[in-house]
Amino acid sequence: MRSAIVISAGGPVRRALPPFPDDAVVMAADGGALEAERLGLRIDRLVGDLDSAPEDVVARLDAEGVPIERHPADKDASDLELALEVAVREGAERVLVLGGDGGRLDHTVGVGLLLASNRWVDVEVDAVLGAALVHVVREKRAFSGAPGELISLYAMGGAAEGVTTTGLRWQLDDDVLRAGSTRGLSNEFVGTEATVRAREGVVLAIRPGTESP
Same domain, 143 and 120: no
Q: Is the pLDDT of residue 102 over 80?
A: no
For 161-196, the pLDDT digits (tens) are: 999 999 999 999 999 999 999 999 999 999 999 999
For 10-40, the pLDDT digits (tens) are: 879 999 999 999 999 999 999 999 999 999 9
Give me the percent of the chain exceeding a pLDDT of 90.
87
Q: Is the pLDDT of residue 148 over 90?
A: yes
Establish whether the linkage from the previous residue to 72 is cis, with ω within 30° of 0.
no
The predicted pLDDT at position 213 comes to: 34
The predicted pLDDT at position 210 comes to: 66
Is the separation of the CB atoms in 99 and 7 below 8 Å? yes
Is the separation of the CB atoms in 5 and 27 below 8 Å? yes
Same domain, 149 and 59: no
Q: What distance, in Å, lies between the first and last C-alpha atoms of the chain?
A: 32
CA distance 119 to 92: 13
Chosen domain end from 103, 130, 157: 130
Mean pLDDT of the chain: 94
CA distance 137 to 103: 26
Structural domain boundaries enclosing 172: 132-213
